[in-house]
Structure 1
């Protein structure tokens, strides 16, 4: 229990780790030349799989979303290749600015946590590549649900009782909208240059994590 402390929570994949690069390059291993197409198709299917089976392990969600993406794009997928995303996920690259920006937050007295749509074993492997330690992690396996459901946020709040809490994430749908509905301070890391459907949902927008300490303390 760390009640009364200042916390910054992060989504992991897309915010700290280059999720798009990881999926597209992994897809290239099983379907050379098709990585970009399969990435976009995968994005169209993952949330539906999570919504259909909120208690499923994330490695199974990824495998099923990849199967559907390949079927949609007419790409042959060998049955034993469906697990390629889970196999490569621990090696997906961390964005270059992560170490410096998270270090600045820690030095300023902020505690750091991950709220991730991932399994415990997979995020444990990813944490080995993150250049800064985290004080807490809430996974989909812990929450029994996938964001944008509120379970991650509620579990974190009930466990750590933050006095001050800012949520930082790349996904408008999975993170910014539920954080807005829960009344959390939030910073949108809009790496893709998307246009928000409602600007009030994302009052603080950055293209990456640079100068994040100032944004967090303003939020």
Structure 2
């Protein structure tokens, strides 16, 4: 277990020169403590009108929940975004990000230190996250990291407001990286079993604040040991 600010020496991947310089970071649970987009949606439900809309549409999203929790969550997300066009959404999410970044202990200091060390070493750092792109971009910019490559979830304008267009989770992360010409990487940092496809293609898989149960589960799936770090 690596704790605090200690940073391991990355394992070099096979002969791919580009892979030897590419490092992937998940965002939520790795750099950010919690789920940033979920916090934004909860913030939207602070408005009485969205509480009323949620109550009025309860039969719909409860029915979605019968089939899939993810469908119910998406329905509630769309309700929270009702009435927001592209420009309105950008203004709302950036204002929220500007407040969020000022909260104490909202980010993992050790994670940001590790990221900045990779940048100082000349590594090609890519943020690969299920968080929505505009939100994560604003948060990183406010942290002094405005030029990072980001592969993230995306929204699109709909009839009644912004809608989920791409949910960048699980295997889709690898697919979206491949679409950008990124096929392999030296190190991948995550806190989630859902990122197993991303970890499988890494020269070194790093679990951030992983429980013993999670670490054993990931190691069994990968067939090899993972690096474990405890970040605060």
TM-score, with length taken from structure 2: 0.54
| Residues 188, 49 of structure 1: alpha-carbon distance in 2 compared, 3 angstrom cutoff | farther
Q: Write out the 4+ residue segments of structure 1 that deviate beyond 4 Å after TM superposition.
A: 20-24, 26-30, 62-65, 86-90
Which is higher, the Rg of structure 1 or of structure 2? Answer: 2
Deviations 1:2-38 (A, max 9, x none): x9362111110110011169978x97996xxxxxxxx
SS in 1 for 2:131: coil
State the match for 1:207 in structure 2: 229
Q: Any idea what SS the aligned residue of 1:141 has?
A: strand
User: Helix, strand or coil: the match of 1:105?
Assistant: helix
Q: Secondary structure of the residue that 1:97 maps to in structure 2? A: helix
Structure 1: which 5+ runs fail to align?
Answer: 31-44, 54-59, 68-85, 211-219
Asked if 1:99 corresponds to 2:112, the answer is yes
Q: Is it true that 1:111 corresponds to 2:110 in the alignment?
A: no
**Do the aligned partners of 1:102 and 1:132 also contact (CA within 8 Å) in 2?**
no
Q: Secondary structure at the match of 1:140?
A: strand
Q: Secondary structure at the match of 1:118?
A: strand
1:18 is matched with 33
In 2: Cα distance, 1:192 partner to 1:204 partner: 10
Which residue is 2:18 aligned to? 4
CA contact (8 A) 1:49 1:64 kept: no
Does residue 151 (structure 1) correspond to residue 172 (structure 2)? The answer is yes
Q: Could you say what the CA RMSD is over the residues aligned between the two structures, in angstroms? A: 4.2
* Residue matched to 1:179: 198
**Native 8 Å contact 1:7 1:113 kept in 2:** yes
Bigger relative contact order (CA 8 A; separation at least 6): 2
Equivalent residue, structure 2, for 1:122: 135
Match of 2:6 in 1: none
Please report the TM-score for the alignment, with normalisation by the length of structure 1.
0.56
Structure 1 residues 88 and 205 mapped into 2: Cα distance closer, same or farther (>3 Å)?
farther
Residue of structure 2 in register with 1:191 after alignment: 209
In the TM superposition, residue 198 of structure 1 has moved relative to its aligned partner by 4.4
Separation (CA, whole Å) in 1 of partners of 2:37 and 2:154 = 21
Q: Matched residue pairs, number?
A: 167
